[in-house]
Chain A
Amino acid sequence: MNMTTRMALVCTTALLGGAAAAETMTIGITQNNVGVDSYQTTYEKAFIAAAEANPDVEAVVLDAGGDVARQIAQMEDLIQRDVDAIIIWPTNGEAVIPAVRKAHQANIPVVVTNSNIAEQGFDFVASFSGPDNITQGSRAAEIMCDRFTDMGVEGEARVVQISGQPGYTTAIERAKGFEDRLPEVCPDVTLVETQPGDWSREKSQQVMEAFLVKYDDIDGVYAGDDNMGVGALNAAKDADRDGIVFVGATNFAVGYEAMADGDYWGSIYQSPVDDAEAALQTAIDILNGEDLPFLNYFDTPKITQENMDEFEKPVF
């Protein structure tokens, strides 16, 4: 049925004279590890749905199961099958570079999705589609500043930061975005100290416990993601310190729940559905010959207690 419609479409367009435009494109994707968390599971579902909704796209959906060797084999298979474009969610940002180079040498454009590969591989990549961690950090700073202004403490507020695991680009960028933006919007707010929470809720709780002992006056806590933010929140609750504004850089289900309870102020909403659709759209745009920026970010909006009704609870 679907097939006949498509055939009919192709024939009509051919008759009209513009045959080339209606040709279907085959896009292969090799994902990191679909079963491991619900972000990736939702991503895959959204990707398949988006590909099926587009009559011009045939998708080959593969999953490396977290195994680098299997991902490289899948890259080779996709090259061998001569797909029109390859989307890769790297299992390891460096190990896949030679495989990406192979695709590049075979003139197959490669789109990296969600987390980028290492810089040595940039020459072989057509585009990166994913969240902009710097923007996430700077938007978190804006949320924090707006809240301080509402509370009337923007002239003297003191903030501590709990960053992600040292060495991770994501952690560095989310910290940088926040640190650069905060003095621009709230010049009188001071960032008193930054400590890594290693993306761990327990570690962040310990870090926050130390902060609470060290500083009598803390007005705001910025965490690299909600997991760490909720760890810090727990520490503050245990110490009976309230009136602290908690802001994260990526909204998790735990953060969303804490927001619903009124304990946690805001975060940045990153949807796996947007992530998947952006990756597919990037590949399609490249095949249509459109000019794209090398770093092709999808939008990650602000979410706070005030507007959280507009968003569904995150699946992760």
Chain B
Amino acid sequence: MATLNRKDYIKRSAIWGFIVVELAFFAIVGDVMSVSDRTFLSLDNMLLLLKQSAPIGIIALGMTIIMINGNIDLSVGATFALAAIVLLDSLTWPFMQALGDWAIPLAWGFALMTGVVLGAINGLIVWKTGVDAFIVTLASMLGFRGLVFMYNGEQPTSHLNWTLVDFAEAQFLGLHTATWFLLGVALILWLVMTKTVHGRNAYAIGNNREAAINAGIRVGPHFMLNFMLIGFLAALSAVIFYSESGSVNPNDGMLYELWAITAVVLGGTKLAGGYGSIISTLGGVIAIQLLRKGLGHIGADTQTVNLVIGLILIGVLFLDRQLNRQGKEELKI
């Protein structure tokens, strides 16, 4: 039992150990190889890192719950783009312009609502048809992206509002607006997953769906709620990001679903469901952004960064499997 706990402990803290290794690596190598005078490990740079982790991070936190359920959501990138279009386009509607800056919270509301509705569509289909979430969200990924292109063709949808930009660029207690949202969402979801019935049900369903149904958990509505939640979070991520940038390309958010899943898996959540943690996902998100940022700092190009992240992902999964196998063998003895 004691060894199991130790192993569990290693697995849970592995991602943070990895982050420390990354930090040490970039601090040492970065100072030798970079042409920059600034050190990589400065406080400002780390605060920036958290801010830059937010767009994919907020989605990945929601993805953790979906994956603990044993589901997956591939449509988050398209939801992200669609919510962004609603946010920016709604600000140009005549009645909204008449409202002045009061239009901003309303536009946020519209965008978040869009995310919830799109998530509800996914959830409802998964619930009522029983088709695997992978297929359902693969279809809705294509469908939602189609809507994005129908909205404005190949053209970007733009509305630059400096009040919005100033809000998104603001720093409170040193942390950027986006960071506050990332940490806030992480805290709330951590509480939900560890302290509430909904959180315990999520693990139970992921572990054994049959048993969960027999225990009286209403799996369909539970799924639907979680899909609405991740739709909301994808929209929230868009709201925070596009408040700052003010223009969305129709292909924005593509591959975000895969980056989010990568972060979740790096954080140790099982693809099969039933195991995972919000805090570890936060670690996974930071680890990816740290890699991107650090490799950029020492002058590696984008392709190299993707290659390294891919290799590390395979390494993590291999390590995870080895740890589990040894655990089973030990139990037999």
CB-based contact B48/A94 at 8 Å: no
CB-based contact B249/A81 at 8 Å: no
Tell me whether A102 is interfacial, beta carbon within 8 Å: yes
Tell me whether A34 is interfacial, beta carbon within 8 Å: yes
Tell me whether B36 is interfacial, beta carbon within 8 Å: yes
Interchain CA distance A101-B166 in the complex, whole Å: 11
Which of A66, A80, A91, A97 is the one whose CB lies under 8 Å from B48? A80
Which of A80, A101, A118 is the one whose CB lies under 8 Å from B44? A80
Q: Please give the number of chain B residues whose Cβ is less than 8 angstroms from any Cβ of chain A in the complex.
A: 36
Tell me whether B320 is interfacial, beta carbon within 8 Å: no
State the Cβ distance, A169 to closest chain B Cβ, in Å: 12
State the Cβ distance, B186 to closest chain A Cβ, in Å: 19
Which of A74, A77, A82 is the one whose CB lies under 8 Å from B37? A82
Selecting from A4-12, A55-63, A244-252, A304-312, the interface stretch reads A55-63
Which of B244, B249, B299 is the one whose CB lies under 8 Å from A91? B249
List the B residue with the shortest CB-CB distance to A60. B35
State the Cβ distance, B85 to closest chain A Cβ, in Å: 13
Tell me whether A65 is interfacial, beta carbon within 8 Å: yes
Which of A60, A63, A98 is the one whose CB lies under 8 Å from B244? A98
Question: Which residues of chain A are near B48, meaning CB under 8 Å?
Answer: 76-77, 80
CB-based contact A63/B302 at 8 Å: yes
Chain A window 77-96, contacts with chain B (Cβ cutoff 8 Å), 1 for yes, 0 for no: 10011110000000111111
CB-based contact B35/A58 at 8 Å: yes
Question: Which residues of chain A are near B158, meaning CB under 8 Å?
Answer: 94-95, 118
Question: Which residues of chain A are near B160, meaning CB under 8 Å?
Answer: 94, 97-98, 118, 120
State the Cβ distance, A244 to closest chain B Cβ, in Å: 30
List the A residue with the shortest CB-CB distance to B253. A69
Do A92 and B249 form a contact, CB below 8 Å, given A80-B45, A82-B36? yes
Within 8 A of B (CB), among A212-256: none
Interchain CA distance A94-B52 in the complex, whole Å: 19
- Among B44, B52, B55, B251, the most chain A Cβ lie within 10 Å of the Cβ of B52
State the Cβ distance, A136 to closest chain B Cβ, in Å: 23
CB-based contact A68/B302 at 8 Å: no
Interchain CA distance A73-B246 in the complex, whole Å: 15
Tell me whether A18 is interfacial, beta carbon within 8 Å: no
- Among B169, B244, B302, the most chain A Cβ lie within 10 Å of the Cβ of B302
- Among B155, B244, B251, B296, the most chain A Cβ lie within 10 Å of the Cβ of B296
- 10 further contact pairs, Cβ within 8 A, besides A59-B35, A66-B251, A95-B249: A68-B247, A68-B252, A73-B292, A80-B48, A82-B37, A92-B156, A92-B247, A94-B156, A94-B158, A118-B160
Can you give 5 contacting A-B residue pairs, CB < 8 Å? Answer: A73-B52, A76-B48, A81-B297, A82-B37, A92-B247
